[in-house]
Homo-oligomer: A and B are copies of this chain.
């Protein structure tokens, strides 16, 4: 089975997305193929690049971009719909207002409320600052459980496709409540810190949006983007602190993929992972996530 990933522009969940599905590079049940247009999101970019992905004949397509309402990503949605391959949009908080349109189009979606816009102002952002920002956001998304939700949803779809069952595409808004309900942390204060870290990335999004689109004066937007990236750094630190607490009680959950692609689970560090039957059964019987 082939999972096709199309990245058009970047969100925090993009850079490591394809690696989430096969973190040990030993999975025998799927192939993952990605095509990207770099940071650009134009209609031309999409028209040139997306067919290359579809040429892999994917069984499932993931479309990742910021703001899926603008023409480039809209074109990408349209093109995959025409191809008939089941598709899931992964995007940031801007996508929330597109929720109904996506449902009408028959696309799945996973909208990450705390995957923040970067501080894209030339006085502040250079390749190094960009990479550090993404590093911080990746750490938050990983630690607070957002990336877990993402890969498990895709894993669920793969499982259903493998079993030949009818597919229900995800319709997820991943907000702080989701973290509260889904995060595998045993300590409630660790969970509170994780929620706090995610709230901070939402705050980053809010400030950067203002700095990038509203403030026109560099005396105003430079301090704002700097301020937002300080919060991103802090959010990563806080997420790390939360995870440390789970280490201190040796209760950190790990959920690797087996070679067959089925979900495994473990907590004690020195133990071996065992098959996560419950999760797998839930995947197969769930009609709507």
Which A residues form the contact surface with B (CB < 8 A)? 7, 9-10, 15-16, 18-26, 31-41, 45, 48-49, 52-53, 55-56, 120, 122-132, 134-136, 138-139, 141-143, 145, 147-148, 151, 176-177, 180, 187-189, 191-193, 195-196, 199-200, 203, 207, 218-220, 222-224, 226-231, 233-234, 236, 238, 240, 243, 245, 247-250, 252, 254-258, 264, 266, 268-273
Contact = CB atoms under 8 A, between A and B. Distances in A.
Given A18-B38, A188-B250, 12 more contacts: A32-B40, A33-B49, A123-B270, A126-B257, A180-B220, A188-B222, A191-B223, A199-B231, A200-B203, A218-B272, A230-B238, A248-B249
A189 B25 contact: no
B129 A254 contact: yes
Contact of A20 (B21, B127, B192, B219): B127
A24 B143 contact: no
B38 A19 contact: yes
Contacts of A224: 176, 195
B20 A196 contact: no
Contacts of A35: 33-36, 52
B34 A39 contact: no
A249 to B, nearest CB: 7
A68 to B, nearest CB: 16
B135 A147 contact: no
Contact of A131 (B20, B123, B218, B264): B20
A264 B189 CA distance: 21
Contacts of A196: 227-228, 230-231, 234
Question: How many subunits of this chain does the assembly comprise?
Answer: 6
A177 B122 contact: no
Contact of A207 (B123, B187, B199): B199
Contacts of A24: 39, 120, 122, 125
A91 to B, nearest CB: 16
A168 B53 CA distance: 32
Contacts of A258: 122
A147 B223 CA distance: 21
B122 A273 contact: yes
Contact of A25 (B9, B151, B238, B266): B9
Nearest to A120: B24
Contacts of A176: 224, 227
Nearest to A202: B203
B219 A23 contact: no
A226 B192 contact: yes
Contacts of A243: 132
A271 B145 CA distance: 24
Contacts of A231: 196, 199-200
